[in-house]
A and B are shown apart, each in its own frame.
Chain A
Amino acid sequence: MDVVINGQKRSLRDGMTLRDLVIELELEGKPIAVEVNREVVPKTRFAATALRDGDRLEVVSLVGGG
């Protein structure tokens, strides 16, 4: 399936959960937050969130700012 993460197209294997993706991106346990189709998904729901073809994800963290 194809999804868009942070504006970039990415092919994922079918049946992947959000938790699988976060592990693949080496972001497990990091201070991140994820939106799937504009809805924030709490970390506790990552494993139960199946990704679907066409999903649009935002994966954010914190940077220096004022």
Chain B
Amino acid sequence: MDAPLRIGSVELRSRVILGTGKYASPEIMVKCHEASGTDMVTVAVRRVDLNDKSKASFLNWIDRSKLKILPNTAGCTTADDAIRAAHLGREALATNLVKLEVIGDERTLYPDLAELVAATKRLVKDGFVVMPYTSDDLVTALRLADAGAACVMPLGAPIGSGLGILNPTNIRIIIERVKVPVVVDAGVGTASDVAVAMELGADGVLLNTAVAGAKEPVAMATAVRHACEAGRLAYLAGRIPRKQVATPSSPMEGRIV
């Protein structure tokens, strides 16, 4: 039995963290959350539409007795805006968790690393459990951990791209060197990408589009759960070393001649 994943004060049995965006309907989203086995889902902080008379809260679709809610700072481009969004999310949800995003480039949605480190320092001081979305750069990951981040969340590929884990070496280097948990965030296109991340030794995977945008989202959520468990088990089992030449699996002695 695998130990739960600890991020700050939070304990997660599932190593899948799932988003709540881009589903065809909230009903499908709920089914995907269940099928994935996730314990934690992300949400975004946005202005209330004052002209919308329905006033139905999106949060009604999330069973907070089963799922931890992780508000993000998506769309923020400066440390100041991300800090504001984090404080608003904390007040709205009564949680000190935050997925910290500070976007530095609109086309790639790559993070602004200097602003990210600055925002992490401030939010840790303000008592947050900070989970920063970062690039697959070791030095930034080390700086974030030094700044008090509860985990680091390097991207596998650009957000929503579905390109998978583009630089497994960088992810592995981060996993080997950083003392806090490493959650691969962004880039997953299908279940095998989750397995790759987990086999590298990632502590968890955060994804959204790969499930929400799949032809059969609930089936993909199920596949992601299995891939995460398979990848984690394979990592714990310890893979054989890679070799350039063949080694027979059957004994050479006793062959008929």
Contact = CB atoms under 8 A, between A and B. Distances in A.
B50 A62 contact: no
Interface string A1-40: 0000111100000000000000001110011111100101
Interface string B19-55: 1111100000100000000000011111110100001
B190 interface: no
30 contacts: A6-B48, A6-B50, A7-B47, A25-B48, A26-B55, A34-B91, A38-B84, A40-B87, A40-B88, A58-B88, A59-B48, A62-B45, A62-B58, A62-B59, A62-B71, A62-B92, A63-B21, A63-B43, A64-B23, A64-B29, A65-B19, A65-B20, A65-B42, A65-B43, A65-B208, A66-B44, A66-B160, A66-B186, A66-B206, A66-B209
B57 A30 contact: yes
B74 A5 contact: no
B88 A66 contact: no
Q: What's the interface size class on A, roughly?
A: 20 to 34
Contact of A31 (B21, B93, B159): B93
B89 interface: yes
Interface string A29-59: 0111111001010110000000000000011
B57 A43 contact: no
Interface in B71-95: 71-72, 74, 84, 87-93
Contact of B48 (A27, A38, A42, A65): A27
A65 B46 CA distance: 10
A66 B21 contact: yes
Given A61-B92, A64-B19, A65-B72, A27 B55 contact: yes
A32 B92 contact: yes
Nearest to A59: B48
Given A31-B59, A58-B88, A61-B58, A66 B48 contact: no
A6 B160 CA distance: 28
B44 A5 contact: no
B17 to A, nearest CB: 10
